[in-house]
């Protein structure tokens, strides 16, 4: 099936547009899927009745209550929920009490799903999230991909979760970030490998396979062979601290554009050729309240507010399900984002909130919920 590309909506920010404006912007494009990290009633309500399905995130802080009782599950019914993600980078949260509560939380969530919302229903799937990858906090090795294996001290928590996912036909969600692979190895050849650009390739002798990019290598090193993967987050920062090599606008544009082209080709990975993978690009907006180095915050495809509409990462092509098509005569800005023309009521930092983009027109159809 056609690879589907969605987008992340993070909330660690104080400069986000009103929920209604974000919903209007999304519905003016052919974006069909959104990863909503924390349930927010205003955005859920604004998307009600739309063709946009939601990958709904359950924050780490809600995992203990959910592990204690199915009654703690709150599942919106006015929108299409394509999947429910339990926890986010939970194993690197610094709270050792969370890991053993992950499986009970997932079991209780499954028990709490309304009739018809099972792991095989058309709307909802049970999923779990892994820590952000590369360097892989949950793996003892990942290079070459054939060496991929979970850390022994995490096996007690991960193996039962992966068995649960396998039994219920649900995917394992990962956050692969080739940028962080380059940040730990800043050779020019590594940058080219991470950006899907021409390079010397890398051979995995054990697999007998050749890898042309870091994305494929990371997916094939996931360490578990019986569960499908969904890419819950992936992206490249367009700005970083002075010592954060590679966090530039040019690299972010190259990475996102080449990632989309790779996904659209449906080439798959060397271990799973021809197999598409649902991928959620990070993120719609910058998250200016995130801690850590500068590169943690500037991932926003729409800039600091919705004043810069849809990204130009999708290359011109005939209309397809789930894809955006550049409109004739559209000109990208230096940062790779399109300027907008139309607007809807509302304001963000005193500026009118945009609705439609001069760079993109809606495709004829949207991807249905999985």
- Which of 237-251, 327-341, 343-357 is the most confident on average? 237-251
21 vs 165: CA distance, rounded Å? 36
**Eight-class DSSP state of 367:** P
Please give the full DSSP string across 313-336, using - where no structure is assigned.
-SPP-S--TT--EEPTT--B-TTS
The reported pLDDT for the residue numbered 117 is: 56
Residue 368: DSSP 8-state? P
Residues 6+ apart with CB under 8 A from 140: 149, 150, 151, 152
Instruction: Please give the Cα distance from 224 to 86 (Å, whole number).
Output: 19
Question: Looking at 89, 244, 294, 296, which residue is catalytic?
Answer: 89
Q: Is 233 marked active-site?
A: yes
Walk me through the domains of the chain, giving residue ranges and CATH numbers.
5-361 (3.20.20.80)
Whether pLDDT at 94 is above 90: no
3-state secondary structure of 29: coil
Q: Please check the confidence at residue 361 and state whether its pLDDT lies above 50.
A: no
Calpha distance 295→113 (Å, rounded): 37
The whole-number average pLDDT for the span 11-25 is 90
- Given the residues 38, 189, 233, 294, select the one marked as catalytic: 233
Query: In the 8-state DSSP scheme, what is residue 204?
Result: E
The pair of structure tokens assigned to 9 is 């909506």
Question: How many angstroms separate the CA atoms of 3 and 5, rounded?
Answer: 7
Q: Is 89 a catalytic residue?
A: yes
- pLDDT the model gives residue 174: 87
- pLDDT bucket at 140, cuts 50 / 70 / 90: low
**What's the average model confidence in pLDDT over 337-359?**
31
- Rounded to the nearest integer, the mean pLDDT of the chain is 75
Residue 246, pLDDT > 90, answer yes
> With contact defined as beta carbons under 8 Å apart, do 86 and 75 qualify?
no
CA–CA distance, 315 with 19 (Å, rounded to integer): 28
């Amino acid at each position: 099936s056609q690879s589907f590309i969605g987008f992340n909506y993070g909330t660690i920010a104080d400069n986000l547009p009103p929920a209604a404006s974000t919903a209007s912007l999304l519905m003016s494009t052919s974006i069909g899927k959104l990863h909503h990290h924390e349930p927010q009633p205003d955005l859920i309500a604004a998307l009600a009745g739309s063709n946009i399905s939601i990958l709904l995130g359950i924050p780490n802080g809600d995992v203990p209550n959910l592990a204690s009782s199915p009654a703690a599950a709150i599942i919106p019914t006015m929108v299409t929920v394509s999947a429910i993600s339990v926890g986010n980078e939970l194993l690197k949260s610094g709270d050792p009490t969370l890991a053993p509560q992950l499986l009970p939380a997932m079991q209780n969530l499954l028990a709490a799903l309304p009739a018809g919302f099972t792991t095989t229903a058309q709307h909802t799937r049970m999923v779990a999230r892994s820590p952000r990858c590369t360097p892989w906090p949950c793996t003892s090795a990942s290079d070459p991909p054939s060496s991929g294996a979970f850390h022994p001290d995490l096996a007690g928590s991960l193996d039962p979760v992966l068995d649960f996912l396998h039994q219920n036909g649900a995917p394992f969600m990962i956050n692969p970030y080739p940028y962080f692979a380059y940040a730990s190895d800043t050779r020019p050849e590594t940058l080219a490998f991470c950006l899907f650009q021409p390079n010397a390739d890398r051979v995995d002798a054990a697999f007998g396979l050749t890898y042309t990019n870091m994305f494929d290598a990371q997916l094939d090193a996931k360490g578990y062979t019986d569960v499908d993967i969904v890419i819950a987050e992936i992206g490249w920062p367009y700005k970083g601290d002075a010592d954060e090599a590679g966090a530039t606008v040019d690299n972010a544009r190259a990475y996102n554009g080449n990632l989309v082209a790779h996904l659209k080709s449906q080439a798959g990975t060397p271990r799973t050729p021809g197999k598409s993978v649902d991928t959620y690009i990070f993120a719609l907006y910058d998250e200016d309240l995130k801690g850590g180095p500068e590169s943690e915050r500037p991932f926003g495809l729409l800039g600091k507010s919705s004043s810069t509409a849809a990204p130009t990462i999708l290359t011109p092509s005939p209309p397809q399900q789930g894809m955006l098509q550049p409109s004739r005569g559209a000109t990208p800005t230096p940062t790779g984002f399109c300027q907008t023309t139309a607007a809807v009521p509302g304001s963000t930092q005193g500026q009118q909130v945009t609705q439609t983009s001069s760079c993109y027109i809606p495709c004829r159809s949207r991807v249905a919920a999985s």
